[in-house]
Structure 1
Amino acid sequence: MEKLIRVFAILVLIGSISLVEAQEGEEEQNSLGALFNKVKDIKVPDSVSNLPTQITEIKESYLETTKTLEMLRIEVGQLRDEVYMLKKENEELRAAVGVKAKENRVTAMLKPIEITASDLVAEFRSDKVAADAKYRDRYLKVVGLISAFETGSSSIEMFLRVDGSDSRVRCLLMAGPDFFVDVLPSQGQLISRNDRRPLLSVGQPVAVLGTCLGSGLNVEMGNSRIDGLVERRTERKPGSK
């Protein structure tokens, strides 16, 4: 009897355990199904679902930007080269302009002031201070008629006539290898020392180049030469007369 009771108790215990396990399995199955359904029902945001497309667009935009930057880099390099060339050309132009300006100044200094003997004397007689400031130590080309020749200790003096005045322009002509001449004052002639032929006579028009030395009794011209007149010394051959 006691054994039967034990067997019955064991059977009841086993049945209870099986029932509990069955209930737990059902509950576990129900829980997993509910979780799956919940996960299934979750909606993925568009920003995540479209992520591959956005990555592709970003990549294309990056490549396009890189291409644009490369083109800009090339253009900047070209502009830099153009600026360098323009700067170099500007420097060359400025140098050329500077040289040209210097040449113009030198040319202006070497170019004589042209004036007639009568006008030159008239300006000194009218306002000596102003004429002195204007003409003294300046290179002049004075045009006039020869009024006389005289000989000095180391130079030849030639005077230019002035209309309506006793004053004249006194020109000091330096004799030398290119001005090999003599003066015949009484005859009013300038002659060659090579063959004694006449070169100039009183009354002839001449242009005299020289430096104005100011005015006293006459207007003085120093270091003068007659424009266009060159008489070089020639060596005589032995036995020639």
Structure 2
Amino acid sequence: MGIILGITGGGGSILTVPILVYILLLNPVTATAYSLFIVGTTSVFGAAQNYFKGLVDFKTGFLFAIPSFTAVYITRKQIVPRIPEAIFEINDFVLTKGTFLMVFFALIMIFAAFTMLKKRKKSILKEKKSSLLSLIIQNFIIGVIIGLVGAGGGFLIIPSLVLFAKLPMKKAIGTSLFIIAMNSLIGFMGDVQNLTIDWLFLLKFTTLSVIGIFIGTYVNKFINEQQLKKGFGYFVLAMACFILLKEFYFV
């Protein structure tokens, strides 16, 4: 997970949540909370590495982070605890809170993957410029989504940084790690007040992830930007399909 986060600037939580839910058998709500801490702490180290390389745009980072981490905190503190355990029933099918969160996570990932893989004309990209208000609204919505799925949000933030803030891919990755760190750790503060945290397990998992991000950041130096963007999109799409199969086919 740390290696993927270091290489792509996102996608770490896309691995973390399925590992915690499907391999370690944690409840999805607890898993998404733990994911925020693991990804947030790991991203601090990744952002620091990128800062020393001049690959973090702090002005853009704060512009994106402030509305999003505000929304993440509100979502984790107030909205997630109020979602009912059984959302609705149709005959023998029951849509549980856990299934809803995982399926919602997968659908958002598919959207993000197609956004990154879709070819756009350069002339159109140059003409497009988002207003400050639209960026604030967009990032607040991203924050709500991040809060619901417990992700760091790199798979949503990176397309936004590339397409709207016009950052080069590698600078978008460094800036994304900075935003993810703030989003995730502030969002996790909302969970601390609602959940009992197994700190020993969490710190062990996070240590392994931090080691991984140092490896991933090193590998990133040898990868072409276009290949990186394309590979990131396919990686997100593959993980989304895996989650949907697990929720609807194997269960």
**Which structure features the higher share of helix residues?**
2
- Which structure ranks higher in relative contact order (CA pairs < 8 Å, sequence separation ≥ 6)? 2
Query: Could you say whether these structures have the same fold, taking a TM-score greater than 0.5 normalized by the shorter chain as the test?
Result: no
Q: Could you tell me the TM-score, scaled by structure 1's length?
A: 0.22
- Point out the structure with the larger strand share: 1
TM-score scaled to structure 2, two decimals?
A: 0.21
